[in-house]
Amino acid sequence: MNQVPQNSTLLTAVNEASSRWKMAFNTGDAAGCTAQYEASAIMQAIPFGTFTGHAEIQAFWQQLIDDGFSDVEYIEPKIKVLDATTAVLSSKWKMNKAHGVIHKELWVLQADGTAKLKEDRFEAQG
């Protein structure tokens, strides 16, 4: 896929942050997952509910990890660049005890060059 040069920084940051999130989850590190979100991020986890901010988001991921969920893998992820600082990732996903769809991960490029999740909307389908 041929990307315009100004998007390379954003795409690199999104791919790196997404990899950090998956690695944190797969190693049982809920705080590491949460570190990939903006402080006021909103996460809609269908059918579980909506979680806002680091404390609620970390509690959600910690509960899943405590319940033995692991080995998350994205299947055919797609990243759509919206502008110079925002991109949306969508994908199917699977893990050891569930699978589903990521409808929208809205990643925002931060001042330090990293990307953080502003919105996360996904669905567990089994």
pLDDT digits (tens, 9 = 90+) for 19-54: 999 999 999 999 999 999 999 999 999 999 999 999
1 belongs to a structural domain: no
Domain assignment of residue 18, given as a range: 6-124
Q: Which pTM value belongs to this model? A: 0.92
Query: Would you state the pLDDT for residue 3?
Result: 42
59 belongs to a structural domain: yes
68 belongs to a structural domain: yes
Long-range contacts of the stretch 93-101 (C-beta < 8 A, 24+): 93/122, 95/69, 95/70, 95/71, 96/68, 96/69, 96/70, 96/71, 97/67, 97/68, 97/69, 98/69, 98/124, 98/125, 98/126, 99/124, 99/125, 99/126, 100/124, 100/125, 100/126, 101/125
What is the tally of structural domains in the chain?
1
Q: Which residues of the chain, if any, have pLDDT below 70?
A: 1-6
